[in-house]
Amino acid sequence: MADYARPELLAETGWLAEHLGDPNVVVVDCQEWRLYNRGHIPGAVSSPNYSDRLKDPDNPAFVMSPSQFTALMAELGIGDDDMVIAYDDNRSLFASRLWWVLNYYGHHQVKVLNGGWNKWVLEGRPVSITATKREGGVFTPRPQQDWVVSSDEMRTCLTDSTFVALDTRSQAEYDGANLRTNRFGGHMEGAVHLEWLNNLVDDVTHVFKPADELRQMYRTAGVTEDKRLIAPY
């Protein structure tokens, strides 16, 4: 991990095993509630309300409002002084969403578990079927507006050579063959494509590729160090 530009954004399974009992470390299981009940990392918290994937229930195109997210943090027992370790069984997709939303709301003490549930189980580490209820401190949402761009700002960035827009969806979504729930197919004009699954070594351990492989992969896709990155998908 030393070669990563920001190695502190990931937690390794060995480190987590040593810190499970730390009072200010909160492990969040980002799987569906039924999967959490099937088995989870000991002491990990979850919520039936987490299935909305941190979206505003009234407008799923947007992130939870400050009050909605604060209520969820209270349910999970997460306060301002806690270090959050997020994991899932879906290649860190939902754990990364929690990482982003916490950072957006000004809580930067959060890591994604490298390899998530898959690597934890493959290593034979302990699991639990007992739900954990945690009483935490107060969570204070502090929206960081520089973590988001408006549609008007996005239009400007697409014509600015100092920016690069990265489409991380599947090739079929990028090409317009798969609409999913979208009204229109295709992608933003000028956006480069690199599916998010390419960040992983394999489909077994779910760990992220080494730093040098990631750098080369992104450079080849057109995401270079001289440009500011926007990921609108």
Whether the pLDDT of residue 52 is over 80: the answer is no
**Containing domain of residue 180, as a range?**
149-230
Residues 30, 94: contact at Cβ < 8 Å? Answer: yes
pLDDT at 219: 96
pLDDT at 62: 87
* 46 & 138 share domain: yes
pLDDT at 165: 94
Q: What percent of the chain has pLDDT over 70?
A: 97
Rounded CA separation 31/152 (Å): 34
* 13 & 128 share domain: yes
* 183 & 71 share domain: no
Q: What average pLDDT score do residues 220-225 get?
A: 94
Q: How far is CA 105 from CA 11, 114, 148, 185, 197, in A?
A: 21, 23, 11, 31, 26
pLDDT at 214: 96
Q: Which of 225, 223, 226 is nearest to 164 (CA)?
A: 223
pLDDT at 61: 81
pLDDT tens-place string over residues 80-101: 999 999 999 999 999 999 999 9
Residue type, 207: V
Rounded CA separation 89/92 (Å): 7
Q: What average pLDDT score do residues 119-125 get?
A: 98
Whether the pLDDT of residue 132 is over 60: the answer is yes
Q: Number of folded domains in the chain?
A: 2
* 102 & 172 share domain: no
Residue predicted with more confidence, 8 or 232: 8
Q: What is the length of the chain?
A: 233
Residues 195, 169: contact at Cβ < 8 Å? Answer: yes
CATH of the domain at 187: 3.40.250.10
Q: What average pLDDT score do residues 12-34 get?
A: 95
Q: Mean pLDDT of all residues in the chain? A: 93
* 71 & 153 share domain: no
The last residue of one of the domains, among 76, 111, 145, is: 145
Q: What average pLDDT score do residues 60-84 get?
A: 94
Q: What average pLDDT score do residues 67-75 get?
A: 94
* 90 & 197 share domain: no
pLDDT at 11: 98
The last residue of one of the domains, among 98, 113, 145, is: 145
Whether the pLDDT of residue 67 is over 90: the answer is yes
HEC assignment per residue over 154-193: HHHHHCCCCEEEEECCCHHHHHCCCCCCCCCCCCCCCCEE
Whether the pLDDT of residue 51 is over 80: the answer is no
Question: What residues form DSSP beta bridges with 113?
Answer: 11
pLDDT at 179: 86
Judge residue 130's burial from the number of C-beta atoms within 10 Å of its C-beta, 0-12 exposed, 13-18 middle, 19 or more buried.
exposed
* 25 & 87 share domain: yes
pLDDT at 1: 60
